Each structure stands twice: as structure tokens, then as C-alpha cells.
Amino acid sequence: MRHISLNERYHMFSEAASSYEDKKLTFSLSDDIVATGFTASAGSRILEGHRPVYDSTVSARMRAAGGSLIGKTNMDEFGIGMFSVTGTDIPKNPFDLARSCGGPCGGAACAASLLDGHVALATSAGGGISVPASFCGVLGLTPTHGRISRHGLIDSVSSMGPIGIMATNADLLRRYLKVISSGDPNDPVSAAQPDLVLGKSKLKAVAVPNGITDLVSTGVREAFDRSVGTLRDMSVDVEYVDIPELDYSMSAHYILATAETALNLATYCGMRVGQQSGDMSLPFDDYFTSFRTKYFGTGVKKRIVAGTYMTLGDNRNELYMRSLGIRRLVMSRYEEILSEYDAILTPSTPITAPTFDEVSGIRYTDEYLTGRFAVPPVFCGLPCLSVPCGYPDGVPAGLQFTAARWNEDVLTDAAAAWEKAFDIKAPEASL
């Protein structure tokens, strides 16, 4: 089948269904969303071979709506990374095989880009929707935190990062957002949401943070500036505002994300799930340690060490607790702006997809800054949308709209309006 031959070339799936019914909607899940009948390793060797005993809520809802799950998509190990190169396999960019799909959920964006009418669900933690959607030239919708049940999402970061949707058109986003939304008793966070209302809002006014294009590559800047023009042609009011608070997001996000990761990943130690091939005669402290040393990747270990540091002793107040306060501060600034504008407009990423050569030479902090626009909305639990907005050097650049809490409506409207005004290109996929 086509998805299998494409996978041989692009490596988007960690596991692909051998067949599926024609005419059915096909969907995929990033490898950290569990589904019965498929393995779920969250891109980590420590969970290799893990077969979940239950279906995630999003999987169950997509299947109930007639969807056919055709594969689990490759991602960075436990959602930690910006280029999808730390997982069990590396997906290749549909526009250029030598380039990264972006991360953490690169395989999902790759699948959405290459397969007709496909819906790719993936986690948005660490910018996991906007970054790969931008690099692979598809639409990516990150809903409000709490809109989609995370039951069945193997999360390393638990206070942020809802499950989002990637697809090639606005209609798919809208239809399947409806399918997977609404409260779920298995995830208390999702139980408190207001009803999802679509079709009522119109995108009329957006705010652009001052100085935002100083932080991006030339290609991205040019695409962004042209997009501002396009929006104005669509009679959207574009104004420039100061949002200095956004600058704090990245450090505070890093602290919270690493702290939560260090804690949540304590679950994985070679007992009960995934890899269990360790030496059982060791005392359990030694068993846990040897196992985690062997099967966690470098990026994950860095986060565990950093995250442990963030919460130990006095650091807990100085770093972790203070970051929670910063999150509230940034949130309230967002709320202020979004009470006056329908959305905040930024590029989705400061660069277009780098080549794998460039990725291997990139510094840890620079890699992290690839998410400087994609991470802040996720950090604050706000919904955002990435759409393709240009093709500098033949690879896609992305435009990101961030809306107020629960206002996915304005984003699906923006997606529909944008795809009329801008000519979204499909990659020339070759088998």
C-alpha cells in the first residue's frame, strides 16, 4: 500500500498498519499516544515493544467516527527535541529528503503532508505541532490545554501540551477537532472545558509583537512580511504591539518542562512495561539505574539531570516555583492582548527546516530556540495555528496565530480564510 512504500522512503511511521479499508478516513497517532493493536514507545528505546492494554480517548473517538488508524508516527524521544532525530527512527522532510521534519512530532507532519486527506494527531508539548507543521508545509492546530483528553498520551511534560491536529486543509482540521474534543472522565483536565463552538468567529484583527522578525532568518522574515501584506489584503487589521513578557517564556518553560520530565519519567525503569531485559538479580536501585542509563537517550538524560536540579533544595523556590509565577504573568499579558485582538501573529519558527548536517552541528540552546514562537502558546495553554506562508529556498516557512483560551473557532476561521488567500503547495512526493 502507498503509505508503506512512502514510509520506506520518508520514515514517518514507527509502526504502520499492513492494510486499511479504502475510502475510509486515515489517521495516525504520534508514538506517544496509545492505541490498541499498535505499539507505543514514545520514541524511546526504554519503551520498545510496549503494547498498551487500552485505547487512548482520541484513538477511540477517531475510530468511532469511522477513522482507520494506519500508523504510529516517529517523534523525538518522549517529545524532547526540535528535529525528530532522537527517536527510534528519523523521518525525512517531504520537501527535501536531506532535511529535518521538525520536532518533536516530525513523523506526524510528514504523514499529513504526504498522504491525501490524512489526519495526523500528535502531541504539542515543546512546540510539537507548530514546528513540524511549519517545516513540512501543513496546517497544524494546537487546541487549548484541556480541550482534548490526554488520556492515553504518554507525557513527559504534564502541565502543558495538548494533543493537536495536522492536515493539509482547514476542513479536516475543523471536522476532526470536533470529533476529538469534549470532556472525558479519564482526564480531569478535559472535563472542565466549555463547549466547542465553531463557525461563529471571524479573524478581523491581529497583533504582531514588535521586533519579532529581528529574531528570524532572512527567508522567514521575507515570507512573514509578505504574509502581513496578504492579511491586510484580506482586510485583517494588523498592528504592532510590545509584548516583552514573551521573552521570559522560553527559560520558564524549560524549567517547568525539565522538572516535570525528570519526575514523570521516573515511571520508566524496566519494570512492567517496555524493555525488561535487565539483570533481575540486581538490587532494585542498581537495576533501575543500570536500565535507565542504558536505554534513555542523551537528550532525555540531560533533561532528567536538569529537571532534578530545578526542584532540589532551594532551587525549587528559586527556579521551579518562580517559573510557575512567570507562567501566570505571561498568561495574563496574553489575555490582555487577546482581549483586544483576535490573535497574535508570529512566524511559526525562526528558521526553515535545516539539513541533517546542520542539525548535527547545532548547539543545545539554539536547538531549543527553534521553538521560540511555537513554545510560548503551549507554555500558557493557549490554542494556536500554524499555516504555510512561503517557500524560501523551496522549503516551507510557517505563520502562527495564537488565540485566546478556548477560542479555537477564530483559528479554524483563519485557516479557512488563509488557504483561500495563499497558495499552499504540496511536496512532489516520489516513491
Partner 1 sequence: MKIGLEIHVQLPTRSKMFCSCPAVGAAGPNEHICPGCMGMPGTKPSLNKEAVVIGIKIARLLNCSVPDTMWFNRKIYFYPDLCRHYQITQYETPIAQKGVYYLGKKPIRITEAHLEEDPGTVTRSGDGSLTDYNRSGMPLIEIVTEPDLSTPAEAREFLTALLRDIRHVIDLPDDGERTIRADCNISMAGSERCEVKNVNGLKNVERALTYEAVRQTKILKAGGKIARETRHYDAERMVTTSARKKEYAGDYAYVCDPVFGKVDVKSIMDGIEHKESPKNMVARLVSEYSIDVRIAEQIVNTSVGLAELFEHLAKNVVADMALKWVTGPISSSWKALEKDVVARTADITDIVIRQRDGEINDVECAMLLKALITGKDVDAVRKGGADLDALIRKAIEENPSVADDHKKNDKAMNRIIGIVMRESGGAYSSSDVVDAAKRILDGL
Cβ distance to partner 1 smaller for residue 269 or 351: 269
Largest CA distance in the chain: 70
| Residue 186 found at the interface with partner 1 (CB under 8 A) | yes
Binding partner 1 (rule: CB under 8 A), the pick from 15, 260, 342, 413 is: 260
Binding partner 1 (rule: CB under 8 A), the pick from 37, 188, 194, 325 is: 188
Do 288 and 268 meet the contact criterion of CB atoms below 8 Å apart? no
Dump the DSSP string for 379-397.
HTT--EEEEEEE-GGGS-E
297 contact partners, CB below 8 Å, separation of at least 6: 44, 45, 77, 86
Cα dist from 290 to 42, 163, 294, whole Å: 20, 32, 6
Cα dist from 208 to 202, 212, 331, 342, whole Å: 18, 8, 17, 11
Q: Tell me, what amino acid is at 387?
A: V
Binding partner 1 (rule: CB under 8 A), the pick from 4, 215, 271, 424 is: 271
| Residue 285 found at the interface with partner 1 (CB under 8 A) | yes
CB of 152 to partner 1, least distance (A): 4
| Residue 42 found at the interface with partner 1 (CB under 8 A) | yes
| Residue 158 found at the interface with partner 1 (CB under 8 A) | yes
Binding part of the chain for partner 1, among 52-60, 220-228, 233-241, 350-358 by CB under 8 A, reads: 52-60
Q: What is the DSSP letter of 145?
A: T
CB of 232 to partner 1, least distance (A): 39
Cβ distance to partner 1 smaller for residue 92 or 327: 327
| Residue 295 found at the interface with partner 1 (CB under 8 A) | no
Q: Tell me, what amino acid is at 48?
A: E
Give the chain's count of helices (H) and strands (E): 16, 13
245 contact partners, CB below 8 Å, separation of at least 6: 329, 330, 333
Q: Tell me, what amino acid is at 369?
A: L
Residue given cell 469511522 in the structure block: 66
Binding partner 1 (rule: CB under 8 A), the pick from 1, 97, 197, 266 is: 266
Binding partner 1 (rule: CB under 8 A), the pick from 16, 29, 34, 236 is: 34
Region 308-347 residues binding partner 1, contact defined as CB under 8 A:
308, 311-314, 316, 320, 324
393 contact partners, CB below 8 Å, separation of at least 6: 219, 352
Cβ distance to partner 1 smaller for residue 125 or 353: 125
| Residue 117 found at the interface with partner 1 (CB under 8 A) | no
Binding partner 1 (rule: CB under 8 A), the pick from 18, 23, 53, 357 is: 53
Binding part of the chain for partner 1, among 145-153, 169-177, 345-353, 359-367 by CB under 8 A, reads: 145-153
First to last CA, the chain: 11
Residue 367: count other Cβ atoms within 10 Å of its Cβ. Answer: 17
Binding part of the chain for partner 1, among 113-121, 205-213, 240-248, 305-313 by CB under 8 A, reads: 305-313
Radius of gyration, CA atoms only, the chain: 20
| Residue 272 found at the interface with partner 1 (CB under 8 A) | yes
Q: Which residues bind partner 1 (CB under 8 A)?
A: 32-34, 40, 42, 47, 50, 52-54, 56, 150-155, 158-160, 185-189, 259-260, 262-264, 266-269, 271-273, 280, 284-285, 288, 307-308, 311-314, 316, 320, 324
